[in-house]
């Protein structure tokens, strides 16, 4: 009987306002639009979903356990636009049944261009999670589950404040071609005998994309042969899955935003804990840390090239699949040294750091992966998903707006 490891991702980017080549205003982000979207998603998804989860955690007296990964950009906007949502997350943290994961504060692609910036964003995110939820994360979740052997070597070596390894393990996508016929239902480890926090092999929790996407993408599809998906049916699938762990990972916006309330998605989530716990005496929900502690990693998962959980390709093409995306990301990270030099210059001179820190924050917002996702020119099903999230008429509009902003930002930084 496998244990279920359930984690939800919450992320909201700082979307850019329409910015032409003639603009010179340093207010690059569409605050009104971002607030509107945050409040809408809070109404449709976050509030009802979190109330539901809090009720289920309390009802099952510690047997229903789960995790959240929440970006710093989402927390900033929620604190301003929907502070009661943050309070609900704090109530969940107080139950002792909810774990908060680590990730890059700005949901960035820093791991691909600057490991120093990557580490700094992890530190920023850790401090925010500690401040709001009283937890120091020990399990990592990279932006869009971007993962490879090289990144695992780096992440496993990051020290915590006590000098020990910061992380016991991390999540990654279970890519079929890399699993070579094996299932995702065990705790894996990267090649190279990497150690995590506690001295055990560095753990990889691989997302079961089929079972996760049955809920996230297929739940309301009346053409799917398994429609309608009930909690009892899904619980039986979970109980019959091979291995000691099942990692279910999905956007929390699945509930109420991507799958609307009238599909029955909230009732499904309400019924699922009891339905699964009733499948057998060994049925259990575990937090990621608990799953890692209970299962020493023995199987090796070898990912020489970067993978992700996005698009059918499960690679970096959602953000770096065309020349526009590559150019935009390269130009953004080309400014890193100058931006951080400005902050250091102000600190050394003893001047007011507010302007320099504003510039650093703006630059980091510009590294958020969503900006490059909007520039994708993919077609078919992948292209439809990109278009659903894109706040522009085309990927070319996304690129032009981004580069107009970046050019003005560069002018200010270099002044």
Residues annotated as catalytic (active site), given as ranges = 144
Please give the C-alpha separations between residue 146 and each of 133, 138, 315, in angstroms, as whole numbers.
Answer: 25, 18, 8
Within 10 angstroms of residue 178's Cβ, the number of other Cβ atoms is 18
Within 10 angstroms of residue 96's Cβ, the number of other Cβ atoms is 11
What is the rounded radius of gyration, in angstroms, for the C-alpha atoms of the chain? 21
Instruction: Give the helix/strand (H/E) hosting 84.
Output: helix 83-94
Backbone conformation region of residue 3, classed left if phi is above 0, alpha if psi is from -120 to 50, else beta: beta
Instruction: Give the helix/strand (H/E) hosting 205.
Output: strand 203-207
**How many whole angstroms separate alpha carbon 111 and alpha carbon 107?**
11
**How many whole angstroms separate alpha carbon 90 and alpha carbon 57?**
13
DSSP summary character for residue 199: S
**How many whole angstroms separate alpha carbon 134 and alpha carbon 127?**
10
Classify burial at 365, counting beta carbons within 10 Å of its beta carbon; exposed 0-12, middle 13-18, buried 19 or more: buried
Please give the C-alpha separations between residue 340 and each of 113, 114, 363, in angstroms, as whole numbers.
Answer: 15, 13, 10
**How many whole angstroms separate alpha carbon 158 and alpha carbon 282?**
35
- C-alpha closest to that of 238 among 205, 270, 273: 273
Classify burial at 82, counting beta carbons within 10 Å of its beta carbon; exposed 0-12, middle 13-18, buried 19 or more: buried
Contacts of 31 (CB under 8 A, 6+ apart): none
**How many whole angstroms separate alpha carbon 57 and alpha carbon 65?**
7
**How many whole angstroms separate alpha carbon 343 and alpha carbon 261?**
46
Classify burial at 242, counting beta carbons within 10 Å of its beta carbon; exposed 0-12, middle 13-18, buried 19 or more: exposed
> What are the two backbone dihedrals, phi and then psi, of residue 119, each rounded to the nearest 5 degrees?
-65, -40
């Amino acid at each position: 009987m496998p244990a279920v490891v359930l984690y939800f991702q919450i992320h909201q980017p700082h979307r850019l306002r329409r910015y032409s080549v003639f603009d010179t205003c340093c207010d690059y982000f569409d605050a009104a639009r971002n607030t509107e979207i945050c409040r809408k998603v809070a109404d449709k998804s976050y509030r009802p979903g979190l109330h539901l989860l809090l009720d289920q955690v309390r009802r099952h007296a510690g047997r229903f356990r789960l995790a959240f990964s929440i970006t710093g950009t989402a927390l900033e906007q929620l604190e301003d636009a929907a502070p009661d949502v943050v309070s609900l997350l704090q109530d969940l943290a107080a139950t002792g049944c909810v774990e908060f994961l680590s990730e890059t504060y700005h949901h960035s692609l820093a791991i691909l261009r600057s490991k120093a910036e990557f580490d700094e964003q992890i530190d920023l995110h850790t401090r925010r999670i500690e401040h709001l939820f009283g937890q120091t994360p020990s399990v990592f979740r990279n932006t869009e589950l971007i993962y490879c052997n090289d990144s695992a070597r780096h992440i496993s070596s990051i020290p915590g404040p006590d000098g020990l390894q910061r992380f016991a393990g991390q999540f990654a996508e279970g890519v079929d071609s890399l699993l070579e016929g094996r299932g995702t239902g065990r705790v894996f480890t990267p090649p190279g005998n990497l150690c995590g926090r506690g001295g055990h092999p560095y753990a990889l929790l691989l997302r079961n994309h089929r079972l996760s996407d049955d809920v996230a993408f297929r739940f309301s599809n009346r053409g799917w042969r398994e429609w309608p998906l009930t909690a009892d049916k899904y619980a039986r699938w979970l109980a019959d899955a091979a291995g000691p762990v099942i990692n279910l990972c999905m956007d929390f916006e699945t509930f109420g935003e991507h799958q609307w309330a009238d599909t029955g998605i909230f009732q499904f989530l309400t019924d699922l804990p009891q339905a699964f716990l009733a499948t057998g005496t060994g049925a259990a929900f575990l937090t990621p840390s608990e799953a890692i502690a209970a299962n020493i990693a023995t199987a090796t998962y070898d990912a020489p090239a970067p993978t992700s959980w996005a698009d059918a390709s499960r690679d970096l093409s959602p953000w770096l699949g065309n020349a526009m995306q590559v150019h935009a990301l390269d130009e953004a990270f080309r400014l890193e040294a100058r931006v951080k030099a400005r902050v250091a210059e102000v600190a050394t001179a003893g001047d007011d750091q507010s302007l320099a820190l504003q510039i650093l924050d703006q630059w980091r917002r510009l590294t958020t992966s969503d900006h490059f996702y909007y520039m994708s020119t993919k077609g078919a099903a992948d292209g439809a998903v990109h278009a659903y999230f894109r706040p522009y008429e085309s990927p070319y509009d996304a690129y032009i707006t981004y580069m107009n902003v970046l050019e003005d930002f560069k002018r200010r930084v270099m002044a």
